[in-house]
Structure 1
């Protein structure tokens, strides 16, 4: 491993660059051979990750010294998360506020409890990483819930119409259709929490160790993150489902048939 003096973190030198290029080439090459159609997205994502993290590292270095700057960075993360989820679910921009409500509904309680209780210090070094993980997790939950719910409403439109014909209100008829698949967006987070330490050692655990913390401190940080994510994603999932079944959030291709 490439080491910085007094640290076990990779050093940003030419060897890291070579490893990154080889890993991207592996991902893109396999996707091309498998004809999955995501090779270009993988290449763009890798380039964006390098450029964005290089820029963000400079911003965060300044933000960590100030609570106010840290909160501004978190607001920026939130705005990008909402825009990303809105685009991935493929809903009109005017509905982004509802998507933002779902993301915030999941993230805020976790952040208030973690930071307000003092478990995570209310400082730049505490606010930015925890908020980034939690907001990213609720963004993922909003995206997965939105896409799966929209797919169910499109594929089982006949069942939705039948429920309406039986006299169910529109939102109850829609929920009847999407309820069986409602849990799918939460399965990855639940599985990650159940298997932590047995299958993976996620980012917060490794980050604390790389920062010189003890294994017990690393475990404490990781448990907080995983349970917080599980709670936040559950809230976002529930809010997204209600907003979508009540037609506050409707995918573009469903606009002509849902609601009715």
Structure 2
């Protein structure tokens, strides 16, 4: 009943779209239907997986599938950037590996199948959009500042030095929203993980501590993923003889 009641807000969005003539009604309906089907399917799969004797194996396979799927989605959304699939896979895969090693290796959380999937899912869910945006923005920055990069190369700078400013700009742009969200958490915004735990009856202090871990992980994971993808794209933007590649638009 709660889920059905939330459809009132969907009707509100549809009304706004129709009123403003945005022509987004089909897209809105499709996204809601798709999300509903996907979440129900995931819920059923989780029930089977976590009740299985091989729950740990299934959890790691699920994480691997999420990494591959996220790299595929990133490649589709940033199709104009050469090698973005490999860059996204490397960035997201390395990121998830680091996060899971920190969380479970340092004993922050118990190594349970549900915790593995949840932490990996939160990490990927937050880093994939940032990875896509970083890839697109890095491509744009290199195109807009191609002359500057070529000038630095002609003066004898190596590839990393010639593209360092563009990489820094993209990384900074990706981190600022995450930093701002971290600043206002608890004052203006109540994050989803903490809210869910509170609604489930978890002790408020425990909910806050778990949310703090999640937020720090998200901030760190975005930084790692964006840095990896920008550096890889910067390398692909230059040829072996240190010229700007043809795919970088003039």
Q: Same fold (TM over 0.5)?
A: yes
Residue range with higher mean Cα deviation, 80-89 or 42-51: 42-51
65, 90, 93: which one aligns with 1:76: 65
The equivalent of 2:226 in structure 1 is 237
The equivalent of 1:19 in structure 2 is 6
> What CA RMSD, in Å, does the superposition of the two structures yield over aligned residues?
2.8
Give the aligned length. Answer: 242
Work out whether 1:194 is the aligned partner of 2:183.
yes
Secondary structure of the residue that 2:110 maps to in structure 1?
coil
The 5-angstrom pairing of residues 94-109 of structure 1 reads 95-109=84-98
Pairwise CA distance, 1:226: 0.3
Work out whether 1:50 is the aligned partner of 2:41.
no
Work out whether 1:185 is the aligned partner of 2:174.
yes
The equivalent of 2:241 in structure 1 is none
Residue range with higher mean Cα deviation, 49-58 or 92-101: 92-101
TM score, norm. by length of structure 1: 0.81
The equivalent of 2:47 in structure 1 is 61
Per-residue CA deviation, residues 110-150 of structure 1 (Å, 9 max, x unaligned), is 11111223321211221121111012122122112112111
Give structure 2 stretches of 5+ with no counterpart: 239-243
Pairwise CA distance, 1:105: 2.0
Change (3 A) 1:134 1:181: closer
Pairwise CA distance, 1:168: 2.6
TM score, norm. by length of structure 2: 0.84
Give structure 1 stretches of 5+ with no counterpart: 1-12
The 5-angstrom pairing of residues 223-234 of structure 1 reads 223-234=212-223
Change (3 A) 1:234 1:34: farther
Pairwise CA distance, 1:173: 2.3
8 Å CA contact 1:74–1:131 kept in 2: the answer is yes
